[in-house]
Copies of this chain bind each other. A is one copy, B any other.
């Protein structure tokens, strides 16, 4: 259940589109911030709005995108609505990206170092 077949290669077109679409969902700073905030636990739209300092409509809109991608879950709770992380895998992705960024910085440092040494 947790181990999968290797990813096909070359990637079939429909899969390519799905992958790109997934990345696109994560390509907005506000959505990253929302996910990062939800890492502390579920929250209402109002709470997220205050945490990010954005308009209520904008927050709702981005939450809608995340919900469509099934990255968050939506639960009506009285007069309020609580959003929560539905796919913790997104954090793994972010960590890998951060790792990649650090790698690039390290390489840049190395290049600059040799540059100076030379």
Interface residues of A (CB under 8 A from B): 1, 4, 7, 9-11, 13, 15-24, 26-29, 31-33, 36-37, 39, 70, 87, 89-90, 92-104, 106
Contact = CB atoms under 8 A, between A and B. Distances in A.
Q: Interface of chain A, helix or strand or loop or mixed?
A: helix
Contact of A104 (B28, B39, B70): B70
Contact of A19 (B20, B39, B94): B94
A22 B22 CA distance: 13
Total identical chains: 2
Given A23-B26, A27-B23, A89 B103 contact: yes
B95 A100 contact: no
A4 B96 contact: no
